[in-house]
Amino acid sequence: MARLAGEREPLSPEKVYAAALDLADREGVEALTMRKLGRALGVEAMSLYNHVPDKAAVLDGIVDMVYGEVDIVDAPEGGDWRAQLALPFISLYGTLLRHPGVLAALATRPVLQSSGLHLYDLAVGVLRDAGFSPCAALHAVRGVAAYTVGSATSQAGRRPTGVSELTPSQVRAHLHELPLEGLPHYAWLLRSLDSDDCQNGEEQFRYGLRAFINGLRPDSDTPSAGH
């Protein structure tokens, strides 16, 4: 039956999660409450519990929606496993920067739903095919994921809401004004800042990701104490 003009479209878990993600994008996930979410949807907060069990479920739904935006393409067989492992996390990094307000939830919530699980299943598959043991694959995936989320958090932290980001030339100008007497090595480093690549957050992330992945070994199980 057709909906009458002005009649509100019924709620669903997906609509609740989408509104919560929009609120988190605007105000940060820390500001998310069921009361605010209800106001955003035009209902009383208690009405939300007909569609989601609690706020924890809302946070899990937000995390799953963000993971759902990650471009995950199954890597072709026969390629370099390091490049295959990097691809989904490069996409995850870009996705996280589009949703900096959700980073706190994503960094602390377990991955329980399909979108995130598919990403990590793909990563484990790459490592398994490369000869990694289950324990080594677990360490590798956790390490790469932690580096990716941490890098996105650090990069997003340089661009707080309402504050204009400095251009690379402005950053160089500030750095070149630093007192460098007696700091020959740092002076040498700052001379490289004439290249915009040194100020590009994504290039910094990719450099670190390559370095991390290049250090992974299929036999890198849990190290013994003291090593």
pLDDT of 170 > 80? The answer is no
> Helix-strand-coil percent breakdown of the chain, rounded to 5?
65, 0, 35
Sign of CA dihedral 27, 33, 39, 43: positive
pLDDT at 41: 93
Q: Check whether 223 has a pLDDT greater than 50.
A: no
Work out the burial of residue 185: count CB atoms within 10 Å of its CB; fewer than 13 is exposed, 13-18 middle, 19 or more buried: exposed
All domains of the chain in start order, with CATH: 13-67 (1.10.10.60), 71-158+179-214 (1.10.357.10)
Q: Residue 158 pLDDT more than 90?
A: no
Does 177 or 195 have the greater pLDDT score? 177
Distance, CA of 92 to CA of 207 (rounded, Å): 15
- Predicted confidence at residue 193, as pLDDT, reads 62
pLDDT tens digits along 195-206: 555 656 777 788
Dump pLDDT digits (tens) for 68-92. Answer: 999 887 666 667 899 999 999 999 9
Share of the chain above pLDDT 90, in %: 41
Average pLDDT, the chain: 80
Cα separation, 149 vs 97, whole angstroms: 10
Burial label, 86 (beta-carbon count in 10 A; 0-12, 13-18, 19+) = buried
Residue 95's pLDDT is: 95
